Amino acid sequence: MERRSALRWLAALVASPTLTARALGAETTTAPDFAPLDKSKTEWKQLLEPARFRILFEEGTERPFSSPLDHEKRAGTFVCAACFLPLFDGKNKFDSGTGWPSFTQPITGHMDFKRDFKLVLPRTEYHCARCTGHQGHVFNDGPPPRHERWCNNGLALLFVPQTDSLPALRT
C-alpha cells in the first residue's frame, strides 16, 4: 500500500505544473493582439545590457532583493524589458517577501509557459509571449482570490508610470 501511495504522490507532483499551466490560461483559443518578434540571440545581445540578456535569453535569475522594482508601488504597467510588451498591471503587484517583484496575475494572453526541472522538482516557468524572453516562475502560494504568485526577475521588466505613455513595441 505504501508503494501505491508514493506513486500517486509522484504522479500528482509531476502533473501539477501541467495543471497549473492550463489553469493559468496556457491553452488559449483567442489570437494574440500582437505579432511575435523573432530576433536571434546575437541581435538581442546587441540590444540589451549583459545582465538583462542573461536573464531574458539564457534563463538566468537575479539575486533576491537586488531589484528596485521589488519596491515599486506606483500605478503603472510593467513591460518586457526586451520587446516592451505590457506584461503586468501595477495594481496586481504585491510584496511577497521573496525579494523579487511579484504579481497576482499577468495581462491575459501575454505569457507562454513551459515546465522547468532546474531545481529537480518541476516548476511552471513563464516567458513573454511576443519575444520568448524568460520572466520568472508562477507558484500557487499567492494571496486570495487566485492564490497565484508570479515571481518575476526585475531585470526582465521595465516600469512605466501611469502618467507616461507606454513605449512602442520593439521591432
User: Is 151 labeled as catalytic in the residue annotation?
Assistant: yes
Q: Which residues does residue 126 pair with via DSSP β-bridges, in sequence order?
A: 113, 136
Closest CA to 21 of 160, 96, 91, 122: 122
Give the three cell numbers for residue 9: 504522490
Kindly report the backbone phi and psi dihedral angles of residue 42, in degrees, each rounded to the nearest multiple of 5, phi listed first. Answer: -60, -45
Query: Within 13 Å, how many C-alpha atoms sit on residue 94's CB side?
Result: 15
Give the three cell numbers for residue 136: 520568472
Strand order of the β-sheet with 86-89 is 86-89, 76-80, 157-161
Q: Which of 83, 128, 131, 151 is catalytic?
A: 151
Place of cell 522547468: 116
Active site members? 151
